[in-house]
Structure 1
Amino acid sequence: MTDEQIKQCITCKEVKPLESFPSRPSLPDGREGECNSCRSLRRKTGDGYLKERLRKHYYRSGGKGDLTLEQLREIESQKRCTYCGCVLYDEIRMVDHVYSLGQLWSLNCAINMVACCRSCNSSKRDSHVYDFYQRSDKFTTAQWEEFVYKFARRAMRCEPSKEELEQWSIGFELEAKELKEYLQRA
């Protein structure tokens, strides 16, 4: 390799091929100073990754919502998928908006966000959470009841009674129905 095809990382100080560095056309050699490995490690261990995620959530929502870095950190620290209950590890951990940002009732706030696995996130997409519950094999009745309990508790900021949980569950079902009807008319 020639000197033009290699570069020293500013973080780990290792000399690596240019392909090991993120592209940055505005720089003289067209590459970042930090290699992909160091950048990935820095983003995962520091707040940089969460800050970037927070920035993207605000961008996607048009600046609506009040999600804080601490709230996002708490959501990301969940150990199990909200929808199927599988153990979450970094490679499959996603944050899902219960009410997708494209839906009428959507907000970019902690109440509306849950941790889930990549599979459930891509299966749910922008559908209503109740519709996803109805069609998913993995989103069991027990998982649904736990989801409703946790959602209601966050929204109400207190322990919901059994009657209130039943009303929340019915409310999700009615919302899904109303959303379908609205979309059919539109």
Structure 2
Amino acid sequence: MKRTFTGITLLGILIMVFLSGYFIGSHKVLEVRQKPVLGIDDKSKIEEQRINEKSQVVMEKEYKRCQHVVISEFEPKEQLLGKSLSEISRIYSPQNGFTVSLQGDSLCIHQIIDDWCPLDKEKYRLKEYQGKVAVYQGPDKDNEVLLRVTSISMETLPAEIQSTIREGKYEFNNEELLNDALENLDEY
């Protein structure tokens, strides 16, 4: 009997707690106010904030074709000193592919570029050209340029290397790595 009474009492308490929470939540008795991310309540204060010597200015370049984002310090920072976010937004406008944001004392200028990033444009690839190993440069197989044809005959290379070259898997990020590979292939 005591056990049943204790169980009913606990169940009653749980139901009361649930109903109290439901009532408070549904009637918005408690109002929670969130602080803004920048710590500034008024948007006009953000517009008044100006870039100064201590401000960090970051440039983000997003390349659409390779989907890489290159982040660097914004070099002509002096051009922005004393300017507000709205003034900078007029210079670096969305019509020209820019978005500008200010968080605290950090300004971010984000640009979307419909091209390949510089690193992808500089990629080298070995392929076959008229029975010889050739050097191509470009971001991918469809956007490359033949730079030179070497004296290395494809026939002298092991079958595995031949197929790898024909599949376009011999790819290098810089000329030094390319030249090392060519020296190794020249030994066959």
TM-score, scaled relative to structure 1: 0.24
Which of the pair is proportionally richer in strand? Answer: 2
> Which protein has the larger Cα radius of gyration, Structure 1 or Structure 2?
2
Which of the pair is proportionally richer in helix? Answer: 1
